[in-house]
Chain A
Amino acid sequence: MDFDLTQDQQQIEDALAQMVERHSVLPVGDPSYVKTSPELDRDLKASGFLNIAREEGLGDLEAVMLIEAVAKIPYASEVAATALVAPNVTARELPGPVALTRLPLGGPIRFLAPGGTLLVDTGVDVRVIALTSENVAPAASIYNFPYGRLVGVDPSTAPVLEGAHPEEFRRCWRLGLAAEIVGAMDVSIATTVAYVKERKAFNQPLGAFQAIQHRLSECAVMLNSARLLTREAAWSGQPKAAALAASYAQEAAAKVVYDCQQFHGAIGLTLEYPLHYWTYRLRQLQGELGGPVILAQAAADMSYAANQPIGDPFGGDALN
């Protein structure tokens, strides 16, 4: 048991922090719902970070650190599927961005773009679809993710991704989702804390009001919990841990978004002010894969089924 980062992990964390800083500068006077950045995409590719889970001695935990870091950047770039999901379900290198979906197909899909790949959870296997300008139509979004709509393709007739287990696919998707939420919550809270220290009303900073202090402190506690659950789930590789982490993070996200928007007042509703780049992402992530209740049910299905004992929370090697 050691909660401290190893030396390697610390180096990765430091390098990631530098990358976040490099790509956190937004141009003035160019507000938009969605921000993407070819420089960030190039930087990610060149850095080798996208292969982090395939490196000797590294794995899901380091990939989670990467996903969390990129979620802090205002520009959207797909990493969870490429750096965490794909390496765990296939030895193939899939052209990115890699989009994820499941049957039955819903609306627009995050990161669905020509030149990339779509992985589809059919419930019994994982299908793979090469994306082109023929089968992807762009979809406008207010959530700071590029979205696309799949057209003219029936995923159930697409080729199977050989060797990919749907349970493992789901575990990694949930884990990556939890890490994305942690990163986006982190910046949302930090942005809001900085704002309420500056903004004055009734002759004092907003941050001096206990009503605001307590709610943001609760946000900070939940962020810490979500991060710990996510990292433990990454370390243990347990499907239930991943479902619990994602469910908890989604539940926390709903509160964090509400409080952060609320304490910003009207300025948080403007496109010029950057808060929405993270809070509106969170609004989508909080419902991905069914949302916190459905993911909690998924975790319950792995715990309370059949005749396995519920009894002892502290037995065994892992932290369950």
Chain B
Amino acid sequence: MVAPLRTSAPGNQDPVPVRAQHRLRLWDRWDRRVSPYLFIAPFFVLYAIFGLYPLGFTAWVSLHEWGIAGQAGFVGADNYVRLFGDPDFWNAVVNTVGMFIMSTVPQLLIALILASLLNQKLRGVTLFRLGVLAPIVTSVAAVGIMFSQIFDRDAGLANGLLGLVGVSPIDWRADRLPSWFAISTMVDWRWTGYNALIYLAAMQAVPAVLYEAAVVDGASKVRQFFSITVPMIRPTLIFTVIVSTIGGLQLFTEPLIFGSGDYAILGGSLRQFQTVSMYMFENAFRNFDYGYGSAVALMIFLMIVVVAAVNYLISRRMR
């Protein structure tokens, strides 16, 4: 695909009339200068209107009394004062953080183990990879429905299995810890294999010479794992922790479906598994208190930023 230079090479026998040529050249210049901006404009315009602007406006709304009929006056920090004294909000914070830890820690540990198992000479390796990734095809709401049955007090598989070892049936929805456990199980079932594949990719990028040297030095496999694999894939570990944090602090669908019934948004009759996202939704879209709901939304946003920043700082320290 080599073509002669078309632009104003002197002596070029161009059959196009001079004026038309001039216009062509102008168009060419314009095209080169403006096209890059036109190409990236759709992203920035739509993102600004439907992403950033609403996020920023949330802060403004949170400073007002704002209901379904519209803005009803500036109230300053009133919504936040109310929020800090609101036991239901703090309850939701505790639930969210509790479920986040309960799901993320085992999830990433198991994913790490799975990845190191997958990172060996295996027969049928694609089948194993597809197998552990299969849960990703299940839509969130479907996961909620499936596990609602599995953790049903009377008819569920979990209690049936526990019965085999002599444990009496657990009412999974009735208390904090059992409900957290059930919801964390849903999250982990869906995401462990996905994270395992991400770790696997990182592990495969670790130079083999490092392991060879370790073998020469007589290091055991466990020792190799902790002294070579983990330090080498640390950027990926941090990446997954941050992504899990962003997802975990916004947990919504699983607990909502798990709750079922008319008061699903409350997360159980005593709000024992209501997350902050659910509390935000309840205030904004069930009670139509946009001002207060916005204050909750902003707190979630801040929680995410703080946790992500802490992660980032810790990871820089470790370097």
The judgment on whether A and B are partners is no
Interface residues, chain B, with chain A CB atoms under 8 Å away: none
